[in-house]
Each structure stands twice: as structure tokens, then as C-alpha cells.
Structure 1
Amino acid sequence: MAKLLTLPKLSVVMKEGTVINWYFKEGDLIKNGDILYDVEAGKMGGSAESEEEGILLKILVNVGDKAKCGQAVAIIGEEREDFTELIPKEEEQEEKEKKRTTVTVIGGGPGGYVAAIRAAQLGAEVTVIEKSHVGGTCLNEGCIPTKALLHSAEVYENAKNGADIGIIAQPVLDFTKVMERKNAVVKRLVDGIHALLKANGVNIIEGEGSFVDRTTVKVKTAYGEREIVSDKYIIATGSVPSTVPIKGIDSPQCIDSTGALSLEKCPESMVVIGGGVIGVEMATAYSSFGTKVTIVEMLPRLLMNMDEDMTAVAVKAIEKNGAEIMTSTKVVSVDNMGKKAVVTVEKDGVKEQIEAEKVLVCIGRIPNTDSLNLEAAGIECERRAIKVNDYMETNVRNIYAIGDCTGGTMLAHVASAQGEKAAENAMGNDSRYDSKTNPSCVYTNPEMASVGYTEEQAKKEGISYTAGVFSLGGNGKSVIMNGDEGFVKIIAHSRSKKVLGMQIVGPRATDMIAEGALALSVNAGIEDIINTIHAHPTVSEAVREAALAADGRAIHG
């Protein structure tokens, strides 16, 4: 006789769940104990086992659909058995279809497309509104093309300086090929995101969205305007380059980071205004290509968010490539002199003029929210930044915001992490974003990476800490790679020995920092790192050595 299979209660607090995968299809033979499907409920998940044997006659709850505990999810019985009386009434099915949550994501960058995929996984009907290209600034005009440029620069630099490892060469820079490869990398990854969105059933609308009210968005497309009504919205519009009131900053020689990634030829000279991450990375790439680079920074040193002992290593490497660094210096004006510009700077009341073919302006970014008409939806902002809590909720119940448009840490991986949380919460879960595991990375040569407390921050906050430092001069793999000028530093609480932060300068720093983030995530102590065997020879061994140093027992330091 045909029987109903119901959704089990996986925990005492579980009331409903979302089916995320079926292991059988209708007509398959089911045995007692077979895993039928996976279900997700809030932050937990599990699998449902069959307590019956027979043919799977009908699936009542499909992948992505929600069901209450005890609700029928399938019918099992004998082959060709009549089970029509067990099927829910048609009107109940129609009502169920009506309740499928619609989620619209405004912006298809690293936060937006991740949010869209996660919402689709949880059963939402998802639409992404993107005015340009999926992947956003990061993939098209930021992280990825910059790192492609830096990789070419590193290979070129290694080829030029390969004599000490037995590689005698006279490399020739083909800047056109460098840009072609950069574009090919970007296209491949953009195509990949399109494929992911399609595979997850996400609808993409090319256009610019703005709110009409809290449930309606108007989209301007190449074919006119249309309106979308949605249950939930996730705003992921990113950021745009800041502007600065400098005389002549609109001169034709002035470019922003997007312009620096689309030059037709490598400039002979370049002034970089701003010594933050973008400015320093661009200076690293172009100085390696042979451009005479001058970095002008108003603050006392570059990369003020990093400890000074870290930035000192990077500054030494940049200057070794012939770049000049001017700190505590402000830009007074930029004058158009035809093929070149003259940049007037001032330090301690003394003015100086620098001639350059290009002037790269990298003075930060601001939230991209001006065109959203946020007032129509009643969304609160502060200086263009959308106000959100740790659950990525705005003050409007059904609207979430993530990434750069919230004015927080403007990094792609932050936007992606927040995108997952926003999607989960939009679908009725309770997911909190925790920033403590968020790493900061600078792709200089050598690389720099930091997560959690730096030593300077720990001192400033009066935290009782111990610092374990291990020089990469004592690490075999780093010596092999000519990357022995860096170090790994671990900040730990002096009493509990819990890891508070980690900083790395050297080869593969941006890859290795994930170990520090994991340590913070699980509240690990230095003993946990010490007790973890690290492969030899690898740069990652230096992490364990730094943990040993924090406990006063470094082996190789």
C-alpha cells in the first residue's frame, strides 16, 4: 500500500527545512535505510533516511522547496500502484507555488553574484540586475586584471634577474601581449560566472536599477524601462573611485585604476597619487615593467593599515625597482603640458615639480549608491553608505545590502562573505557576518597579508600580548625562491595563548594568511598551530615557527 514519506525533525528546534538535493528519482527502488535527500534548516543540515521499502512513486517537495516538519515530501509504494488520493489538492500546490520567495540582487559583482547563487540554492527565484559586466569592479577592472598585470611583471622581473640562479636571458616586454593576456583571463572568469548563474537558474537583466518603493525597482535597459516586484532585495552596487579637489586633476594625462589597466603602451614615467593598496600595487607592476614611478602620499608612510615593519620590506623592494616614494607630501596641482603633465607637490612648505607621462589617481573609493533612489524605499544612509547590521539588514525589513556600498572594508572577499549571509537571511535563516576572520592582502613583491590584530593595534588597545616573529631567512623554501627578506608574525594573548592576529611578508603570503584566519575562526591557540605538522620544504613552515617563537621555543629562529 502506498505511503507518505514526511520531513523528519532533525533537531528539537527545527520547524521546517529546505530540500537541497534528491538522491533518487521517481520510479527508483528505495530500500530501508537509503539516504533519500539532503535538507537544510537554518545553520544546520542533514540527510533523510527511508524507513520504508518500495518504488518512489512521486516527489512532492522538489529541490529548493521548503516543507514543515511532518509534511509529506514523497510517496512510496508498489510499482504501478494508484496513489492519486495521497497527492495534495491542486489548490494547495498552487498556494505553495505562490509562496516561492523572489529575490532580486542589484549588482552582479563578487558580492552580488555569490548572493544570487546562494539564494537560488535555498530555493528562491532570483534575478540579478547588472548594468555592465557580471563580476563587478573586482573581476573586470580591479582585483583580477591587476593581479594578472602583477603576475606578468613578476615573471618579467624574475627573467631579468635570473643570472644568480643560472638563467641568462634578455627578456623583451611586449606590453600589448601583457594586456591581451589580462583581457583573456578576465573574459574566461566572466564567462565562468555567467555559466554558474545559468546553472543555478538565476535570471540576469542588463540594466541599472533604482527603487520605486520598498518592493518595486525600476530597471533602465537598452530597450527601455521595466519594473520588477520582489519579496526581498539585496543591494550590491559596489563603489566608484573617489575624486579630489586638486587643480588640473581632470587633465588628459590623469587616469584612475581602470585607466591604468587599459593603457595601449607602457608609459615611460608615472606619478601615483596615493600610497594605499591600489597605488602601491600599480607602482609595483609598472616599476617592474620599467616605468619611472613616483608615489606621492600625504600620510607619513605607505599602507597605514599595515604595521611599519611590514611596509618597510615592501618599500625597500619598490625602491629597488627605481621607484621614488614621497611621504608627508601633498599634491598642489597638475598642469597639462601636452604629451606630459607637470605635477606640483609640497612638503614642509617646499614645492617641487615632477614631470610624468601619466598621473595615476588612487585616493580611495566611495559607495556607489547615488542612482539607487534609496529615499523612495526609505533606506537609511550615512555619507552615501547604506547602514546595515551584522545580518546585512537595512532599516527596511525586506532589503539587505552588502559589500562596498555599505562603506565598510572594501574588499571582494568581504562582499562575497556578506553576500552569502544576506542570501541566507533573506531566505529566513539567522546568519551573522563576523569580520574578525577577514584578511587584508597587498600583492606587492614580496606579498603582504594580515588578519586579526596587528602588533600596533594590540599596543594601542592595551592588550596583553606576546609576538612570535620568524624571519624567512631561516625558511628553506623562501631562500630557494629568493624571498628571504620577509617574516611571519603571530600575535597571541600573553596568558591564554589564543591567536589574536597574524602578519606575513614574503612569498605566498596572500595564500598562507588563510591559516591565520582559520585560527581566529576556531579560537585556536598557538599550541594548535604547533601541533599541526607543516610540510617541508614549504613557506608555510614559517607559520609554525612563528607560533613556536611566540612560546619562546623556535627551532630554526
Structure 2
Amino acid sequence: MATYEADVVVLGAGPGGYVAAIRAGQLAKEHGGSVICIEREYLGGTCLNWGCIPSKAMIAHAERYQHVLHAKEMGILINGTVDYDFEQMQARKNKIVQTLRGGIGMLFKKNGVQSIEGTGKLIDPHTIEVTRPDGSKDLVRGKNIILATGSSVMKINIPGLEGENVWTSDDAVNAPFVPDSMLILGAGAVGVEFSFVFNALGGHVTVVEMMPHILPTFDEEIAKEAERALSKQGIQFITGSTLKSAERVGDRWRCYVETPNGIQQFDVQVVLIGVGRKPNVDGIGLETVGIQMNKRYVAVDESMRTNIPHIYAIGDITGIAPLAHVASMQGIVAAENCFGAARRMDYRAVPNVVYTVPEVAGVGLTEQQAREQGYEVRIGKFQPRILGRAMAVGERDGLVKVVADAKYGQILGVHICCSHASDLLQEAVLAIKLEATLDELVDTIHPHPTMVEALMEAFHDAAGHCIHKA
């Protein structure tokens, strides 16, 4: 049994852990010290290997296929049959993942981070026992420890639903075929993104959501706009409903869905469970060292410290905002605090994006949240369909909505459903971060012709003088 020692030990190499390790490595070079990162499987964690990156590659494939199918609308004539090679699509996706995974390894070497492969668990406040893939064990001791073990797909018990062609999101990114029919349980980001992919590639997709509208964490008006746009593409959404049971009938799943109008039956080739994730907190020794929990999550302060000052926790195991980019920022904060900084997390301006076509994005308070918190609000709205750029590129669906404080004009939230919403959103993120007001934003020149003019017009609308709103 070998023993390793470091100033910072990171458990987990997902988007929180690997970023924390690299930032700690940079600081170790400046101040002296060493960094070790322990990962049981692949560098990059869920986001890179089974989540963010492979799913976005699949979305890009589906979107490009749809562009070609509808090329005639732009005067582009294609002779012959338009088809796709799903195996080649998946191979391209895998190559992207492998390239990025290798890139993390190169960054580790550049920044002096030692990578150890194995499954780790705390055995005392400064020591992690690592079980290697061959079963051997090593000890890794750290002055500071950052826990970044992430989350896993959550499986729920549906009576009768067990066996072949019952997929999780992990299965879906490695799908061996495009189902001719699919029922997706859950209309959050995961369910809605995969509904776009498999519908665009020719499958018949039904999405079941227990809440009154899809994307329940987003502004309701924007979520309804997304539902309208995606329904127009052929996706069937059944909201306010639950999957009660299923049975195998031939090579199909017969699903019984309880809806406001009674039980409906759907016969599908594949059922995809996309209802959420659970934190990876079991088996990592939290109870051994007395880490305080907040229900099923690790409790942390704004510095990302647990109740044990030299042990930090970041990412999905904290339950604060289960997003890759939040985990990365938490990792930077934790790493810098390991070297004596006094960094604190600021969650006022956390961007959230769903990468369908059109995209859905939001930051800050929804209209409902702002009113519940006692704000008197001013709302600005604009539909990008009348923009010259939207017409030119043929992407006219959507709505942009601004929520501002009526008294001072401070931007409280921005919510977008349109082409390139993920790019448009960053102006809003900065506006909230810097406590910008409507007066400042309407006095800012935006480029023409662009999609970002939809955001500009929504700011003007909230201020009471939108130029191009009929």
C-alpha cells in the first residue's frame, strides 16, 4: 500500500473537480505545494462523458439533419434522398468526448496535477483510501480536501417497467439506434433535449411531465413558448400527468399514463427515464469523519467549506445549483480558499440553458419569483420573429422576457426562448452581476442585424418605449 501526500486532494474529476484541481495546481506553482486528483473512471465526469458534451453533439447532428431536410425553403436544391448514418453520428460524438478527455489529462500535466485512478473514501479528516481498479489500495493524505463526487442518474420504480429498452440519460447518449417511438418521463432539461434529438431524427416522441408545464424551473411564459415551438415540430407533451405502470407486449412497452382526462395508453419501443439525478454521497466516508449534511446533500458555506474547515465540497453533492458551470466556479472558489484566499460564491446570476431548437435560457428571478419576493416589477417582452436577422436565417420562433424592479429599474431576471438564446443570455448575466439598470441597458448600442436585438427591444419595452413592437 503506497501513501501519497499533497497540499490539496480533489476527489472527483468532473467539471467541478478537474477545474478545482487545475486552479489548485496553478496556485501550487505560485506558492509551493502539490495537488492530487482522484477519479474512479473518466476525466471530465458525467458532464463530459455522459451529459453536457455528448448530448450537445447529438443535438447538433439532429439540428444539422433538419437544416438539410428543409434546405429547399432557402432555395437550396439537394438531388437524391436525404438520410443520416446514426452509427457515424455516434462515432463523431465519441471522438469529441475522447479529445476533450485527453485535453484534461494534458492540462493536469501542464499544471502539475497528479492524477490517481480509483475509488476514494475518507477514512479520517486528512486521509482518503483509494481502491484501484485491480483491487489494490493506496492512501492519499491532504492538508486540504475538496469533495467533488458529482451525481448519478436517478431510477424510479414504475410497476412493470424493467428490462430491455428502458433507458436512462446515460443510455440515451450511447443509444445503439433511433427508436421509432419513445416515451420520455420528465420534461426538465434532460427529457426535453432528448425529445428534440429523437424527434428530429424521425422517432415519434411523447413526453410525460407531472408539473403543469414543461421546464418547470423556468419562467412559465417562456416554458410555454418552448412547448409551443417544440410541439410544432411533432413532439407530444402531456403535462400534469404521471406514468403509473407499464407492461411488455411483444417488442413494445405498453405505458399507462394518468392524465387530467383519465388513463391514456401508449405503445412505444423505448422508455427513457429523465426525471433527475441523485448526489454521489454514499460510500465516500462522510459519516466516518462527521461531515454535516443538509438532507441528502453535503452542507457548505459560501466559501464551499463543510463543517470541517479544511474539507470543501462542490458541485452536485451540495445540491445548490446542479449545473456544470456552477460546479466549475465553486471549484475555483474552493481551490483559492485552500491557499488562503477569502472567496465566496455569488449565486445571483446563475445562467441556465436548455439546448433545444429553439434554445431556452434564463438567469435571475422569474416574474413569479420577483413578485413573491415583494418586488413591484416592470416586464418587457419581444418576439424575435420580426427581426431582420431572424427572418434572414429562418429562425423566427420565440420570446424574450425581461423582469426589472419598477422603482430603480434594476434587472432582476431575463428569460429567453429563441435561436442562440445561450449566447444572448450572457449580456443578461453580466447585467444582473453588475446590478445594471434599464436606463443603462437601453442606452447601450447593440449591433444590427443580430438576434441580440430581441434582448435590446425587450429592455426598451420594459422601459416603456420599444421601437419595433407593433
The secondary structure found in structure 2 opposite 1:491 is strand
- Asked whether the equivalents of residues 122 and 128 of structure 2 are also in contact (C-alpha less than 8 Å), the reply is yes
TM-score, structure 2 as length reference: 0.95
Q: Does 1:464 align with 2:373?
A: no
- Aligned partner of 2:427 in structure 1 is 515
Deviations 1:169-200 (CA, angstroms, capped at 9, x unpaired): 34202111111111111111111111111110
- Aligned partner of 2:61 in structure 1 is 152
- Asked whether the equivalents of residues 379 and 462 of structure 2 are also in contact (C-alpha less than 8 Å), the reply is yes
Deviations 1:233-291 (CA, angstroms, capped at 9, x unpaired): 00001001112121133222211001011111111111101111100000011100010
Alpha-carbon distance between aligned partners in 2 of 1:412 and 1:118, rounded to the nearest angstrom: 16
Deviations 1:17-75 (CA, angstroms, capped at 9, x unpaired): xxxxxxxxxxxxxxxxxxxxxxxxxxxxxxxxxxxxxxxxxxxxxxxxxxxxxxxxxxx
Superposition deviation, residue 349 in structure 1: 7.2
Superposition deviation, residue 153 in structure 1: 0.7
- Asked whether the equivalents of residues 225 and 399 of structure 2 are also in contact (C-alpha less than 8 Å), the reply is no
- Given candidates 79, 86, 107, the residue that maps to 1:196 is 107
Alpha-carbon distance between aligned partners in 2 of 1:206 and 1:251, rounded to the nearest angstrom: 32
Superposition deviation, residue 209 in structure 1: 0.4
Alpha-carbon distance between aligned partners in 1 of 2:298 and 2:220, rounded to the nearest angstrom: 32
* Amino acid aligned to 1:323: I
- Aligned partner of 2:280 in structure 1 is 368
Alpha-carbon distance between aligned partners in 2 of 1:349 and 1:320, rounded to the nearest angstrom: 22
- Given candidates 377, 402, 409, the residue that maps to 2:289 is 377
Q: Does 1:180 align with 2:91?
A: yes
**Equivalent residue runs for 1:91-490 within 5 Å:** 102-123=7-28, 124-169=33-78, 170-223=81-134, 224-348=136-260, 350-490=262-402
* Amino acid aligned to 2:433: S
Give the structure, 1 or 2, with the largest relative contact order (CA under 8 Å, sep 6 or more). 2
- The worse-fitting range, judged by mean Cα deviation, of 127-136 and 484-493 is 484-493
Superposition deviation, residue 101 in structure 1: 6.4
Question: How many residues of Structure 1 are paired with residues of Structure 2 in the alignment?
Answer: 458
Superposition deviation, residue 338 in structure 1: 4.5
- Asked whether the equivalents of residues 291 and 306 of structure 2 are also in contact (C-alpha less than 8 Å), the reply is yes
The secondary structure found in structure 2 opposite 1:231 is strand
* Amino acid aligned to 1:268: D
Q: Which ranges of structure 1 fall in alignment gaps of 5 or more residues? A: 1-99
- Asked whether the equivalents of residues 452 and 501 of structure 1 are also in contact (C-alpha less than 8 Å), the reply is yes
Superposition deviation, residue 168 in structure 1: 2.9
Query: Which segments of structure 1 move beyond 4 Å, counting only runs of 4 or more?
Result: none
The secondary structure found in structure 2 opposite 1:265 is coil
The secondary structure found in structure 2 opposite 1:495 is coil
The secondary structure found in structure 1 opposite 2:371 is helix
* Amino acid aligned to 2:133: A
Superposition deviation, residue 468 in structure 1: 1.4
Q: Which ranges of structure 2 fall in alignment gaps of 5 or more residues? A: none
Assess, with a 3 A threshold, how the Cα gap between structure 1 residues 401 and 336 changes in structure 2: closer, same or farther.
same
Superposition deviation, residue 424 in structure 1: 0.9
* Amino acid aligned to 2:20: A
- Asked whether the equivalents of residues 253 and 336 of structure 1 are also in contact (C-alpha less than 8 Å), the reply is no
Q: Structure 1 vs Structure 2: percent identity of aligned residues?
A: 39
* Amino acid aligned to 1:143: C
Deviations 1:371-393 (CA, angstroms, capped at 9, x unpaired): 20111111112333101111101
TM-score, structure 1 as length reference: 0.80
Alpha-carbon distance between aligned partners in 2 of 1:158 and 1:311, rounded to the nearest angstrom: 24
The secondary structure found in structure 1 opposite 2:13 is coil
- The worse-fitting range, judged by mean Cα deviation, of 485-494 and 152-161 is 485-494
Alpha-carbon distance between aligned partners in 1 of 2:316 and 2:89, rounded to the nearest angstrom: 29
- Asked whether the equivalents of residues 385 and 398 of structure 2 are also in contact (C-alpha less than 8 Å), the reply is yes
| Largest Rg, 1 or 2 | 1
- The worse-fitting range, judged by mean Cα deviation, of 201-210 and 476-485 is 476-485
The secondary structure found in structure 2 opposite 1:173 is coil
Alpha-carbon distance between aligned partners in 2 of 1:553 and 1:352, rounded to the nearest angstrom: 48
**Equivalent residue runs for 1:68-107 within 5 Å:** 102-107=7-12
**Equivalent residue runs for 1:1-80 within 5 Å:** none
* Amino acid aligned to 1:109: G
- Asked whether the equivalents of residues 449 and 510 of structure 1 are also in contact (C-alpha less than 8 Å), the reply is yes
Alpha-carbon distance between aligned partners in 1 of 2:440 and 2:45, rounded to the nearest angstrom: 38
* Amino acid aligned to 1:462: G
- Asked whether the equivalents of residues 54 and 94 of structure 2 are also in contact (C-alpha less than 8 Å), the reply is yes
Superposition deviation, residue 536 in structure 1: 1.4
Superposition deviation, residue 339 in structure 1: 2.3
- The worse-fitting range, judged by mean Cα deviation, of 124-133 and 161-170 is 161-170
- Asked whether the equivalents of residues 398 and 416 of structure 2 are also in contact (C-alpha less than 8 Å), the reply is yes
Alpha-carbon distance between aligned partners in 1 of 2:180 and 2:106, rounded to the nearest angstrom: 40
- Asked whether the equivalents of residues 251 and 336 of structure 1 are also in contact (C-alpha less than 8 Å), the reply is no
Superposition deviation, residue 532 in structure 1: 2.3
